[in-house]
């Protein structure tokens, strides 16, 4: 691929922007250079994660939200908004992703809106990393807001959601047992909760259930930091602790297909941004996010270096010894890693 000019991206050149995102998706050698060039020009965008089970109406909701932000007459200059649709459940361009493109088509004539689906090659470890890289490029390109739509399914999606300054968790009535799984993983990271499909029976019930769960989750995580294991999770918990001290996640009941309740949600997303900035939690979140990024990258790099220097034969021998219970896995790891750093 011919060289992409980072300045063109900053100047708002759409073609350069699209090509840069493709370079990242393909892990092209240019990827690192572009990110390095653009990183100093980032830190301005409000990153909003929208997550929840497939079919809850996230894409419909995002479409309406973007329209609301773009048409907000109370602002002198409407924010430029970029949307990243991440859907690891559809690795190819069929299914949900194609549907998203069609649904979001009515936004495509707007120069202040940029929409991009991110194909996932099933490499879940790379999902969070690529999404972060996408956000870096879009931030440098001058988007005031970056909305990331992601399926709330596993740890990778939680990681993606944690990229965001503001996390919106979307539920729909009648999802039954899903509420249990959401409680376990996703509820803790929600800054705002949405019960979509309020035109369906049971929406009020779901909203009530979520409010109860939210209270429970809040009470159980209001523990002093330091009770939660490793130093990294301490940082995370401190973060959540601060967040929950002063921000109580609101629950919105919405009918996305009709645009009902969207204005209130849009206002709360803005309010959350203002809250983060006024309290300084914005900077704390940024610092934690960058620390997590750096930690993950260093881990990858060290593992790679170690693997490159690895004597495969020795490894197989030690593994065999572990299988035969001559070494414990911990002893084996000490042996293999210490040998390499001598």
Ligand X SMILES: Nc1nc2c(ncn2[C@@H]2O[C@H](COP(=O)(O)OP(=O)(O)O)[C@@H](O)[C@H]2O)c(=O)[nH]1
d(CA 34, CA 87): 24
Site for Mg ion in 54-83 (CB under 5 A): 58-59
d(CA 62, CA 85): 10
* Contact status: 197 vs ligand X (CB under 6 A): yes
* Contact status: 57 vs ligand X (CB under 6 A): yes
Sign of CA dihedral 82, 86, 91, 96: negative
**Residue count at the site for Mg ion (CB under 5 A)?**
2
The answer to whether the CB of 249 falls within 8 A of the CB of 186 is: no
Nearer to ligand X, 173 or 249 (CB): 173
Using CB under 6 A as the criterion, what x/- string covers residues 203-242 for binding ligand X? Answer: ----------------------------------------
- Nearest by Cα to 11 from 38, 43, 47, 48: 38
The answer to whether the CB of 239 falls within 8 A of the CB of 177 is: no
Q: Which stretch binds ligand X (CB under 6 A): 14-22, 52-60, 112-120, 281-289?
A: 52-60
- Nearest by Cα to 33 from 62, 58, 1: 1
Sole residue written with tokens 């601060």: 242
* Contact status: 58 vs ligand X (CB under 6 A): yes
Exactly one of 54, 201, 280, 329 binds ligand X (CB under 6 A); which one? 54
Cross-strand partners of 49: 148, 167
The CB-of-191 to ligand X minimum distance in angstroms stands at: 18
Q: How many CB atoms lie within 10 A of CB 272?
A: 23
- Nearest by Cα to 114 from 135, 93, 99: 135
* Contact status: 60 vs ligand X (CB under 6 A): yes
* Helices vs strands, H then E, count in the chain: 14, 7
* Contact status: 252 vs ligand X (CB under 6 A): no
Nearer to Mg ion, 59 or 196 (CB): 59
Which listed option, ligand X, Mg ion, none, makes contact with residue 196 (CB within 5 to 8 Å by class)?
Answer: ligand X
* Contact status: 257 vs ligand X (CB under 6 A): yes
The CB-of-172 to Mg ion minimum distance in angstroms stands at: 12
d(CA 224, CA 111): 47
Which listed option, ligand X, Mg ion, none, makes contact with residue 257 (CB within 5 to 8 Å by class)?
Answer: ligand X
Nearer to ligand X, 57 or 88 (CB): 57
Which listed option, ligand X, Mg ion, none, makes contact with residue 199 (CB within 5 to 8 Å by class)?
Answer: ligand X
Q: Give residues in contact with ligand X (CB under 6 A).
A: 54-60, 96, 99, 196-197, 199-200, 255-257
């Amino acid at each position: 691929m011919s060289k992409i000019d980072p300045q063109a991206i900053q100047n708002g050149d759409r073609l350069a922007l699209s090509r840069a995102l493709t370079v990242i998706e393909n892990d092209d050698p240019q990827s690192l250079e572009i990110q390095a060039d653009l990183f100093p020009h980032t830190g301005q965008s409000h990153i909003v994660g929208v997550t929840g089970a497939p079919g809850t109406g996230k894409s419909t909701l995002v479409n309406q939200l973007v329209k609301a932000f773009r048409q907000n007459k109370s602002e002198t200059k409407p924010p430029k908004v970029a949307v990243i649709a991440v859907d690891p459940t559809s690795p190819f361009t069929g299914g949900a992703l194609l549907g998203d493109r069609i649904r979001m088509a009515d936004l495509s004539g707007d120069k202040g809106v940029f929409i991009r689906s991110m194909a996932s090659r099933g490499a879940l470890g790379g999902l969070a990393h690529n999404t972060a890289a996408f956000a870096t490029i879009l931030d440098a390109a001058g988007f005031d807001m970056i909305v990331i739509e992601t399926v709330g399914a596993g740890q990778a999606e939680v990681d993606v959601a944690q990229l965001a300054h503001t996390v919106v968790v979307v539920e729909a009535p009648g999802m039954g047992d899903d509420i249990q799984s959401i409680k376990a993983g996703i509820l803790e990271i929600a800054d705002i909760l949405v019960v979509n499909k309020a035109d369906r029976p049971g929406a009020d019930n779901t909203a009530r259930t979520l409010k109860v769960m939210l209270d429970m989750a809040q009470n159980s995580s209001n523990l002093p930091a330091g009770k939660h294991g490793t130093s990294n999770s301490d940082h995370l918990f401190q973060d959540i602790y601060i967040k929950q001290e002063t921000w109580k996640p609101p629950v919105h009941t919405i009918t996305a297909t009709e645009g009902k309740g969207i204005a209130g949600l849009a206002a709360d997303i803005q309010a959350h941004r203002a809250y983060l900035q006024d309290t300084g939690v914005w900077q704390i979140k940024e610092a934690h996010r960058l620390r997590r990024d750096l930690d993950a990258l260093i881990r990858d790099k060290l593992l790679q270096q170690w693997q490159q220097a690895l004597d495969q034969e020795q490894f197989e021998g030690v593994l065999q010894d572990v299988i035969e219970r001559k070494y414990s896995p911990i002893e084996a790891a000490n042996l293999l890693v210490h040998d390499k750093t001598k």
